[in-house]
Amino acid sequence: MHEQRTYPHGVPCWVDTEQSEPERAARFYGGLFGWTFEEAMPPGAPGSYLIARLDGLDVGAIAPGSGEASWNTYIAVDDADRSASAVTSAGGRVLSGPQDAGPGGRTATCADPSGARFRLWQARRRLGAQIANIPGAWNFSHLHAVDSSRQLSFYSTVFGWEAELPEDGSGAMVRVPGYGDHLAATTDPGIRERQAFAPPGFADVVAGLQPADTGEPTHWHVMFTVADRDKSAATADQLGAAILAVTETAWTREALVRDPQGAEFTLSQFTPPG
């Protein structure tokens, strides 16, 4: 039996996208990633929340939205009300909530001091993404920061994050201490052996932080794993998306994509050196 993946306080745990035409978005993402969908709202209830599944496991969701289409990152918390208060105390804003999201959990929409929006998730029935880091699943969320030091200080205060900001102003990996131990004890018992090559603390990495490009607003950006960047980018293009950029890093081949309704995300193919 599949062991359910759980997320300690401070670990990004879920992603969803708000789209003016959810069914159209479902056709796009279903075609791109092989997702199937199940309506989470009970029959007769207002609204919609389409849970996306890969191999029968929850990977994300699509919700109706009236504004600009976007992807949202949720951060796991032990207590949404207490964390919402911590957001305000640390200089952020609570834009809506906290409120119950049915029996699944309790949520709030927040913004950090520089304006990047994120959501809190206090899990009840829905624990978060149940599959990740495989082709077709959520891989990572990056904060594109306009004030890296100030924004990291905020998230450190609210969620206990740790990171070293390089002097050259480049990006950083964000850690939640003990997360690797949590994974080793639950859904990923071989993580230490598999990451024997990695620097200390790598198993605790939960998110990325990188400077926003000139003129780019601060925001949370989501990445999805693919087996072949070029094939997936071609599929996205055929399904009506725009390919905004293709890049190579030391470890990945990536494509920045804007979906047919305007939400941006990255396709990431893992290509380790050698």
Q: Is residue 1 part of a domain?
A: no
pLDDT (0 to 100) of residue 2 = 58
What is the 3-state secondary structure of the chain? CCCCCCCCCCCEEEEEEEECCHHHHHHHHHHHHCCEEEECCCCCCCCCCEEEEECCEEEEEEEECCCCCEEEEEEECCCHHHHHHHHHHCCCEEEEEEEECCCCEEEEEEECCCCCEEEEEEECCCCCCCCCCCCCCEEEEEEEECCHHHHHHHHHHHHCCECCCCCCCCCEEEECCCHHHHHHHCCCCCHHHHCCCCCCCHHHEEEEEEECCCCCCCEEEEEEECCCHHHHHHHHHHCCCEEEEEEECCCEEEEEEECCCCCEEEEEEECCCC
Q: Is residue 6 part of a domain?
A: no
pLDDT (0 to 100) of residue 78 = 98
Q: How far is CA 250 from the centre of its chain?
A: 22
Q: Is residue 4 part of a domain?
A: no
- Is residue 166 very low, low, confident or very high in pLDDT (cuts 50, 70, 90)? confident
CA dist., res. 55 & res. 248, Å (int)? 29
* Number of domains composing the chain: 1
Mean pLDDT of the region 12-26 = 97
pLDDT in tens, 22-57: 999 999 999 999 999 999 988 888 889 999 999 999
* Domain with 72 in it: 12-270
Say if residue 68's pLDDT is above 70. yes
CA dist., res. 129 & res. 145, Å (int)? 25
* Residue 24 structure tokens: 């159209």
Q: Is 8 left (phi over 0), alpha (psi -120 to 50) or beta?
A: beta
- Is residue 168 very low, low, confident or very high in pLDDT (cuts 50, 70, 90)? confident
Q: Worst-scoring range by mean pLDDT, 45-49, 147-151, 206-210?
A: 45-49
Mean pLDDT of the region 183-206 = 88
pLDDT, the chain, mean: 94
pLDDT in tens, 248-263: 998 899 999 999 999 9
Q: Percent of the chain having pLDDT more than 70? A: 99
- Is residue 1 very low, low, confident or very high in pLDDT (cuts 50, 70, 90)? very low
CA dist., res. 76 & res. 246, Å (int)? 31
Say if residue 125's pLDDT is above 70. yes
| Sheet order of strands, 50-54 included | 36-39, 50-54, 57-64, 12-19, 70-76, 117-123, 105-111, 93-100
Q: Is residue 5 part of a domain?
A: no
Mean pLDDT of the region 58-72 = 95
Phi/psi of residue 31, nearest 5 degrees: -70, -35
pLDDT in tens, 227-242: 999 999 999 999 999 9
pLDDT (0 to 100) of residue 75 = 98
Q: Is the peptide bond before 43 cis (omega within 30 degrees of 0)?
A: no
Q: Is residue 253 part of a domain?
A: yes
Say if residue 169's pLDDT is above 50. yes
**274 or 121, greater pLDDT:** 121
CATH of the domain at 68: 3.10.180.10
Mean pLDDT of the region 208-227 = 95
C-alpha distance from residue 148 to each of 116, 143, 217, 232, 273 (Å): 12, 9, 13, 31, 29
CA dist., res. 91 & res. 223, Å (int)? 27
pLDDT (0 to 100) of residue 250 = 87
